[in-house]
Amino acid sequence: MSKFMLNTLGLGSVGIASYFWGRSSTPQSPVQPPSNPTSTGIVPAKGNNQNSVGAFDPATIRPQDFFKYGYPGPNHDLGNRNEFISCYDRSTRNPYWVLEHITPQSIKSVEGVDRKKSVFREDEAIPLKFRARLRDYFRSGYDRGHQAPAADAKFTQETMNETFLLTNMSPQVGDGFNRDYWAHFEDFCRRLTQKYDNVRIMTGPLYLPKLCEDDKYRVTYEVIGSPPNIAVPTHFFKLVVGEKNGDEQIAAAAFVMPNEPIDNARSLTEFQVPIDALERSAGLELLQKVPYYNKKDLCREVKCEIIVREFPKAIQRAASAPAGLPAPRN
């Protein structure tokens, strides 16, 4: 075990200091030098307080007083947008989750709203030291993958622009995933508005273990940026909920997909997972206030399938949406 750890885990012994100090803008300690630079050492002086105690009062031990220096967090930065709410993880520089609400009306194309007018941008609400940066994605080989898709937010240009904030992004494999199977999956979610008055979608990254040859489970993921800053999730999930007005019952399903090319021939139901298994993996509680008798399996209510529309890009842009169906991803 120890040998394994030495060989494979973490930075080497020399690595730690250079890794940390190297990331600091100054190679010196950021804390203020003492006014008296002479190191005094920990030599008990005469009459030091350890020897001058009476009866010990346990109430003098107050770990909570650390908070006078500021609460350390972790803080979850919530971004309240028009079409979605994002919750940001300061340690992975990814969202924890992004929550959306779409309706039959909200996903209709609106004249003049165009994703070509939107630009990716950093979320300045996030302190710089925890922020996902545009430069981290540069030449990383990964797409800036929308968690709330732009095509779900086209009722105003501002609404669509908000989906381009990096707090709505995770690094996603482009070809075969973000631009293909995942996009078809997003389209499936939009098509649910043909059956449901309200569709609520929670999307987010996962970092899942896999069984290795030595019979141990390990999580392995890349971190992009220089210095390394943004984690590349191994998987992505969506929790999809369909609501009908006046019906207390909801239809819900959870899906988990690997962040890698997926063959379009594969069935969407292959990726369905029990909601409680997603809870365990994400560390989240999902739909806990809904009694079990009001939760139906979405994939028994509707056919859970992707529809592959492989229009050439130019045609795709010019084409109007098939009648009665939302437009394919634009």
Q: Which residues are annotated as a binding site for Mg(2+)?
A: 178
191 binds its own copies (CB under 8 A): yes
Instruction: Please list every residue from 3 through 62 that binds its own copies, using CB under 8 A.
Output: 5-6, 8-13, 15-17, 19-21, 23-24, 29-35, 37, 39-44, 48-51, 53, 56, 58, 60-62
Q: Which amino acid is at 285?
A: E
Residue count of the chain? 330
Report which DSSP code applies to 295.
E
Say whether the peptide bond before residue 328 is cis (omega within 30 degrees of 0).
no
Applying CB under 8 A, which of residues 133, 261, 309, 330 lies at the interface with its own copies? 261
Q: Is 281 in the site for its own copies (CB under 8 A)?
A: yes
Catalytic residue among 101, 146, 184, 235: 146
Distances (CA, A) of 10 to 7, 225, 227: 9, 18, 16
- Residue 133 engages its own copies in binding (rule: CB under 8 A): no
Question: If binding is defined by CB under 8 A, does position 302 make contact with its own copies?
Answer: yes
CA contacts within 13 A on the Cβ side of 236: 31
Select from 115, 146, 184, 200 the one that contacts its own copies (CB under 8 A).
200
Nearest-approach distance from CB 311 to its own copies, in angstroms: 20
5-to-2, 16, 131, 210, 219 alpha-carbon distances in Å? 5, 15, 30, 17, 14
Cβ-based burial of 284 (10 A; exposed 0-12, middle 13-18, buried ≥19): middle
Q: From the list 118, 164, 179, 296, which residue makes contact with its own copies (rule: CB under 8 A)?
A: 296
Nearest alpha-carbon partner for 155 in 213, 83, 58: 83
Instruction: State yes or no: is 146 an active-site residue.
Output: yes
Select from 82-90, 112-120, 162-170, 311-319 the region that touches its own copies (CB under 8 A). 82-90
The region of 111-119, 162-170, 230-238, 311-319 touching its own copies under the rule CB under 8 A is 230-238
